[in-house]
Amino acid sequence: MAGSGSSMTYSFLLFIVILSLQEMYRGKLASSELYTILGGFTSSLLFLVLLTFIGNFQESAGAKTGWGAVIVAEVVALIAASTVHRVCTTTCFLFSAVLLYEVNKLSGSAVSTTDSRTKKQSGRA
């Protein structure tokens, strides 16, 4: 499994690549309805990788990650989406909400798995 340092580096690089590609193809993403929805989805991917970066940065600094990281990542993603098209902002928000729900569900199952492993190991000792 990747450590928080390498995960932070990869998520930052992905953020830069996705943002650059989104800005390079801004005209194409705003040209039709389907591409506008795709622009919102790519902006929600920006939200996901920025949330990963902020979470790993806070973890490496020893701080607890909370809703502040989610809000900052969402605002940055919405600003990036608004540079493409107004509808991209709405679809980015909707896709980001779904991604946040899925990440929260995945995180909860990972924590419960880790807790059950810890209880099994402490029971053996």
Nearest to 54 by CA among 63, 45, 43, 41: 63
Could you tell me if residue 40 is inside a domain?
yes
Q: Which domain holds residue 34?
A: 4-118
CA angle, 54 as apex, 48 and 57 as ends, to 5°? 140
Could you tell me if residue 125 is inside a domain?
no
- pLDDT under 50 in the chain at which residues? none
Largest CA distance in the chain: 63
Nearest to 46 by CA among 91, 89, 80: 80
The pLDDT of residue 118 is: 66
The pLDDT of residue 63 is: 87
Share of the chain above pLDDT 70, in %: 89
Could you tell me if residue 69 is inside a domain?
yes
Per the structure, the count of domains in the chain is 1
The pLDDT of residue 3 is: 75
